[in-house]
Amino acid sequence: MTTLDFPGHDKLIASLDAAVALGDDRAITDALRKTLCEMICDEDVALPECVLEPIADHYARRELYTSPEHGYSVVAMTWGPGQGTKIHDHSGMWCVEGVWKGRLEITQYELAERDDERYRFVAAGTIEAGTGSAGSLIPPHEYHTIRNPSDKAIAVSLHVYQRTMVRCGVFSPTGDDAEWQSRGERLLGTDQIVPN
């Protein structure tokens, strides 16, 4: 079990617990979106200073909490200027993502066609989300990319996953045909948390 103390920790976790206890995926993710928006704006809640530190060669994943009762996990991600992801899924789990600092560009994709081990996606919309906003992904609508559009500022997002996410599917163009993608498994680690 992962847990890390920070200002407002108990307040944040109590709010997340109340949302997750609702039981139904749609009700949970709706309540979590509202909760994250409130917590991001709450002056009593401050994430650990280490989440403001980017890592040069990849976006940082720092697990802040895993619920022993409900099983969900809370991960802070730090996005250096221009850092982002390929099209990926969440291996069938719901997730709620809130922008804690900066701006993020999120593009959702719908699976248009699948041919054996190849996938073809259609972009379903791109938003640029700012501090205090939150969104959710519920399978099968889980395919997306995230990118920090700034060339100077970092961005920090807080992700609440249904369970600890140890792997995800990452999609890459197949051969010369950029329209089709192949799915690879990516094992997800977390970056070290340095206490303040």
Nearest to 163 by CA among 98, 86, 85, 90: 90
* pLDDT value of position 116: 84
Which pLDDT band, with edges at 50, 70 and 90, does 189 fall under? confident
pLDDT, average across residues 175-179:
75
Peptide bond into 173 cis (omega under 30): no
**Higher-confidence position of 195 and 1:** 195
Beta strands in 24-117 (DSSP E): 60-66, 73-79, 95-101, 103-115
User: What's the one-letter identity of residue 167?
Assistant: R
Q: Classify domain 9-187 at the CATH topology level.
A: Jelly Rolls (2.60.120)
* pLDDT value of position 1: 46
Domain-wise residue ranges, the chain: 9-187
Helix (H, G, I), strand (E, B) or coil at 25: helix
Buried residues in 153-180 as b, exposed as e (16+ CB within 10 A): ebbbbbbbbbbbbeebbbbeeeeeeeeb
Percent of the chain with pLDDT over 90: 80
* pLDDT value of position 2: 53
Segment (H or E) for 124? strand 118-130
**Phi, psi (rounded to 5 degrees) for 73:** -125, 155
pLDDT, average across residues 102-121:
94
* pLDDT value of position 187: 84
Quick check: 196 pLDDT over 70?
A: no
Counting Cα atoms < 13 Å in the Cβ hemisphere of 46 gives: 8
Strand partners, 78: 60, 156
**Higher-confidence position of 35 and 178:** 35
Quick check: 61 pLDDT over 50?
A: yes
* pLDDT value of position 174: 85
- Please give the structure tokens belonging to residue 53: 């530190």
Question: What pTM was estimated for this model as a whole?
Answer: 0.92
* pLDDT value of position 52: 92
- Please give the structure tokens belonging to residue 187: 């094992």
